[in-house]
Structure 1
């Protein structure tokens, strides 16, 4: 399974000729480095929650128009997208087969944020190898301990590097793919990676420095 990062938390997964897209949000398309046309061959789009950095409605409309992709998300996102003519397959929790992708959806709480109601949110365990926790570091996710690849938010208003490191320590993944860093300038992202990479290496965890759109890993 190939996983390509397209800024912030937008990830394209490819398996057996099929493409699954996670969280095409506003930061992904903000500077024009990535366009909806990049995702014209996706078969399914998964939106973990309704925050704009994970859901760009205008871009999603164009992706669906170009690809004919199905959209999977929470009841809250389904209600939000209905006025825009976007149909959503509602997922609450449990296992589902999406083409070549076996998904286990887990309802998780968003990390606390300032003066804002927390959204409905789903984490996903993919093909028995990859955990995408969305914006949650919940203890619920410890059932995926020693996962092969952890998709790890490394920067956010609701995070510190100590919190990031502790969550990874608890899960003990073999590899980490950093996300949620699309709002920072390149030099700052690289500086953060310079901190995280040796820290995780000491624990025997491979940290993938995917700082530029279109960089990928294979698991």
Structure 2
């Protein structure tokens, strides 16, 4: 299985004919959708899901998402089948076994944004969306949020150390506008995360 990194929070898991895309938002490159049959969406924010882009894809592509995303998709009349997922659900997407975890977006301020957020553990690979939720299932590869209005280095480190994966890679990093920001976050992760850590260049992949 290979993990392909795209802009911000979007990644793709490739294994032979299996291609599963997670959180293709407004900054996601068109090539991320190549060969994809199923899409996982953690929550409704447009840096994680671009309904306009989904509407232009083949109708046979399946989308798995929280109820709030399914409602917005129905209102936008996108042709894809949207399967509503809740925390604790176990299902198969693009031939991969998936467990939905968490349930709530991390707080920015005064209880906001207060929307649903699901993390997905896909055969040991954990994409938390906009949260620092620590799941009870086995995680071997953690995709750790690097920068967000709700984010702190301390929380990213605490989540990584609590999960103790074999490896971790950064996501949710579009808000880091320069190599200085990347180096700062990467330096702290390498120093204190207690796991193998590396940054995947955009459009490139690593074998898991």
For normalisation by structure 2, the TM-score amounts to: 0.89
Larger fraction in helix: 1
Map 1:129-148; keep pairs closer than 5 Å: 129-139=124-134, 141=135, 143-144=136-137, 147-148=139-140
Q: Report the equivalent of 1:217.
A: 206
Q: Report the equivalent of 2:160.
A: 168
Aligned CA-pair RMSD: 2.0
Contact 1:5 1:215 in 2 (8 A): yes
Contact 1:96 1:102 in 2 (8 A): yes
Distance in 2 separating the partners of 1:96 and 1:4: 22
Q: Report the equivalent of 1:97.
A: 92
2:50 alignment partner, one of 51, 56, 77: 56
Which range moved further: 37-46 or 152-161? 37-46
Unaligned runs of 5+ in 2: none
Distance in 2 separating the partners of 1:39 and 1:169: 32
Aligned residues: 204
Question: Counterpart of 2:91 in 1: which secondary structure?
Answer: strand
- Displacement of 1:193 after TM fit? 4.4
1:206 alignment partner, one of 193, 196, 208: 196
- Displacement of 1:153 after TM fit? 0.5
Q: Report the equivalent of 1:82.
A: 74
Unaligned runs of 5+ in 1: 29-33
Q: Report the equivalent of 1:18.
A: 18
1:118 alignment partner, one of 108, 114, 118: 114
- Displacement of 1:120 after TM fit? 1.3
Distance in 2 separating the partners of 1:138 and 1:6: 22
1:45 lines up with 2:39 in the alignment: yes
Distance in 2 separating the partners of 1:38 and 1:26: 12
For normalisation by structure 1, the TM-score amounts to: 0.85
Distance in 2 separating the partners of 1:110 and 1:59: 23
Distance in 2 separating the partners of 1:189 and 1:158: 16
